[in-house]
A and B are shown apart, each in its own frame.
Chain A
Amino acid sequence: MSLWEYANPVKFMRTSRALLPWFWGLTLVSLAVGLVWGFFLTPEAENFGSTVKIIYVHVPSALMAINAWLMMLVTSLIWLIRRHHVSALAARAAAPIGLTMTVIALITGAIWGEPMWGTYWAWDPRLTSFLILFLFYLGYIALWEAIENPDAAADLTSVLCLVGSVFAILSRYAVNFWNQGLHQGATMSLDKEENIANVYWLPLVITMVAFGLLFVTLVLVRTRTEIRARRIKALIARERMG
């Protein structure tokens, strides 16, 4: 019994079918708890007014936007090294979700930035790196769509993901060097004393967990769809031959 058994599509389909209702349930419950708590049951912050509540969408979506790319990087590596198709399809499934999370983070950030900084957009390092991340997602998805041979597409997008990751990190530091920021630094971390106030901390952690679960759920659903699409293609091909 090893982890790699789940790389078998049949096994993956069976396991994910059993797990999905649980993931959906947990996602919806934690989303509901986190967002309702965050939106209605926390006080308004001193300098922010009610705009502080955007944090419950903004921070988790930004977190998942980055983690989605990390997940794609890991699954791409697994595909390149061990050639498990489920892995490549999971990377493909994750990309549009990551793209959506990036857009959500950018838009909520713009809505939050207008009352706070007086502008929807500034060429701040964090904002700029997210815009660049958005472009990386676009290119990755476009490459998947453009190549017909599924194995070649998986290989090429994996190579792009690896090279892109290096350049994404490089861009992050280059952008830091290029301009000073408006965006505040991290106010949550495991090793720091000064975290944000406790009233906001707990619901924020819950929404972060909820977005993580939402991401896993959506990736499972989309991977199942990709596997089914692949099967249909194989069936049609067989039909034509016979």
Chain B
Amino acid sequence: MIALLLRDLNLAVRAGGGFGLALAFFLIVVVLVPFGVGPDSAILSAIAPGILWVGALLACLLSLDRIFALDHEDGSLDLLATAPIPLEGVVAMKAAAHWVTTGLPLTLAAPGLGMLLSLEPDAFGWQMLSLALGTPALSMIGTFGAALTVGLKRGGLLLSLLVLPLYVPTLIFGAELVARGADGMATATPLMMLAAITLATVALLPFAAAAAIRINLR
């Protein structure tokens, strides 16, 4: 399973994969927002946590259909499905690779981009914490969506439609955590809920995603 993770990471980094792409997309979203709402730093700092979260979510979405599509095309997905390791493990590793190439860089880039949006300095830590906690859930949910649409020729748009409603709870608790942390309010509830969502998706969704892949490969 480690070998699979390394293989996916290698592919992402070498073959012009989604590695830098998601980060660049995130940057562009953050740069475009001030053009849209105006350069007033009071407004920007109020909406910064939400913009960073929505930007991370969209950047995540952008690279989802690559998770299984390429492997499906060249047939390696069939080999992985018949390999001795359980398909659930394969799915979990795919999600992990997706997180390392999108969620992790986005989390690390968040403070720098937060500066552009005049995010309050107190909120930097909270922003990183909430993204670090929440983006694994985004990757895992997205992997499930990608598993549902793996056999489809033009699944990209459908994938967004399927996955975005599933992102709602993560987004709400993630953005709420930053907003509360920045205001110095009690953060235990959103923090625990966000962690719970991530843990539950990582624990349960590999089974649903593996089931979907089995159906699609039948």
Contact = CB atoms under 8 A, between A and B. Distances in A.
Interface string B176-207: 10000000000001100100010000000100
Contacts of A156: 148, 212, 215-216
Nearest to B175: A178
Contact of A146 (B152, B166, B197, B218): B152
A173 B190 CA distance: 12
Contacts of A167: 165-166, 168-169
A108 interface: no
A175 B162 contact: no
B169 A159 contact: no
Interface string A173-191: 1110110000000000000
A171 B149 contact: no
B208 interface: yes
Given A162-B208, A170-B197, A143 B162 contact: yes
A174 B193 contact: yes
A171 B165 contact: yes
Given A164-B166, A174-B193, A138 B161 contact: yes
B96 to A, nearest CB: 19
B155 interface: yes
A152 B216 contact: yes
Interface in A120-167: 132, 135-136, 138-139, 142-143, 146-147, 152, 155-156, 159-160, 162-164, 167
A164 B148 CA distance: 12
A136 B158 contact: no
Q: Among A136, A138, A163, which residue has the most Cβ atoms of chain B within 10 A? A: A163
Contact-residue bracket for chain B: 20 to 34
Contacts of B165: 132, 135-136, 139, 164, 167-168, 171
B144 interface: yes
A177 B172 contact: yes
B173 interface: yes
B47 interface: no
Contacts of B149: 143, 146
Contact of B158 (A142, A170, A171, A177): A142
B151 interface: yes
Contacts of B161: 135, 138-139, 142
Contacts of A159: 148, 208, 211-212, 215
Nearest to A171: B168
B168 A174 contact: yes
Nearest to A172: B169
Q: Which of A132, A162, A170, A175 has the most chain B CB atoms inside 10 A of its CB?
A: A170
Interface of B: 144, 148-149, 151-152, 155, 158, 161-162, 164-166, 168-169, 172-173, 176, 189-190, 193, 197, 205, 208, 211-212, 215-216, 218
Closest 6 CB pairs of A and B: A174-B169, A135-B165, A174-B172, A155-B215, A139-B162, A170-B169
Interface of A: 132, 135-136, 138-139, 142-143, 146-147, 152, 155-156, 159-160, 162-164, 167-168, 170-171, 173-175, 177-178
Given A146-B152, A152-B218, A174-B173, 13 more contacts: A132-B165, A136-B165, A139-B158, A143-B148, A143-B162, A156-B212, A163-B208, A167-B166, A168-B165, A171-B165, A173-B169, A175-B172, A177-B173
